[in-house]
Amino acid sequence: MIKNVTVIGSGTMGNGIAHTFAQNGFNVNLVDVNTQALEKALLTIQKNLDRQLSKGVISEDVKTSTLKNITMHTDIKLAVVNANLVVEAATENIDLKLKIFKELDEHSPVGAILASNTSSISITKIASVTKRPDKVIGMHFMNPVPVMKLVEVIRGYATSDVVTDTIMELSRKLDKMPVEVNDYPGFVANRILMPMINEAIYTLYEGVAGVEEIDTVMKLGMAHPMGPLQLADFIGLDVCLAIMHVLYDGFGNPKYAPCPLLVNMVTSGNKGVKSGIGFYDYSGGTKDLVVAAKFKKIK
């Protein structure tokens, strides 16, 4: 039975995952090497709980119990000692994830399930650095985690049926809709989404239309709640680029080659919302979208 959950990484996805488990009655250890990052994560969780409270989604008692269920840690060894499940939500970097999973395998209880929130990196590859590949699985949550229903449950080559069934059922207990997928580059969500975003960037790069025009076509014509360029900004252009590299390296197909404009933007530090500027300028906040100066004119 899973009761104690450790979440590795306190960024956008990590704090959202911690919030979701804690709100559903699980004991959560949230881990980050940076104390300031943990403090920021707690403030974010409190703010999101207040938003839920103001909308009548939760009660004051639920907010209080959720916060009580979360403990902050900077030491992975201490944070996983009693874990039934560990969910890694660190940066989308293969070397970092392999390093974390070696450490998790060494210090977590023998029966603990090790999950990754990776959006594209092979679960089989991650599992290969552990002595428990049958207990390694993907739990790809969507952002914002407390709101979005989907969880992609990714089976690695050696992931057992028991572990897969456990995580599927656990996801339902979180009031999520789990979808089981197999371990191939990009899984389902990003194998479809990222090439679309990349093509939208190519459409801008080649001067077919401007930022607002491209996003408007997809919102009004295809009923997307957010245009692909705005969505790329919210995901993080660096994350989009990293996933495109995974797809390109994994399949060796030129259709997955990242657009040169995407490469240049990430190289220059324009990563979207997180850096304050991407295809849109977020210096005034995210409510009133303003197209970044560089893209105001179609070349």
User: What does the DSSP assignment read for 102-144?
Assistant: HHHHHHS-TT-EEEE--SSS-HHHHHTTSS-GGGEEEEEE-SS
Question: Is 128 within 8 Å of 103 (Cβ atoms)?
Answer: no
**Cβ atoms within 10 Å of 68's Cβ, excluding its own:** 10
Which residues make Cβ contacts (< 8 Å) with residue 271, sequence separation at least 6? Answer: 236, 237, 238, 265, 278
Number of residues that make up the chain: 299
What gap in Å lies between CA 125 and CA 97, rounded to an integer? 10
Active-site positions?
Answer: 119, 140, 152, 190
86: which 2 tokens? Answer: 């560990």
Of residues 235, 200, 201, the one with CA closest to residue 221: 200
Of residues 186, 278, 182, the one with CA closest to residue 229: 278
User: What does the DSSP assignment read for 36-64?
Assistant: HHHHHHHHHHHHHHHHHHHTTSS-HHHHH
Question: Is 227 within 8 Å of 204 (Cβ atoms)?
Answer: no
HSE-up (13 A, CA, CB side) for residue 32 = 23
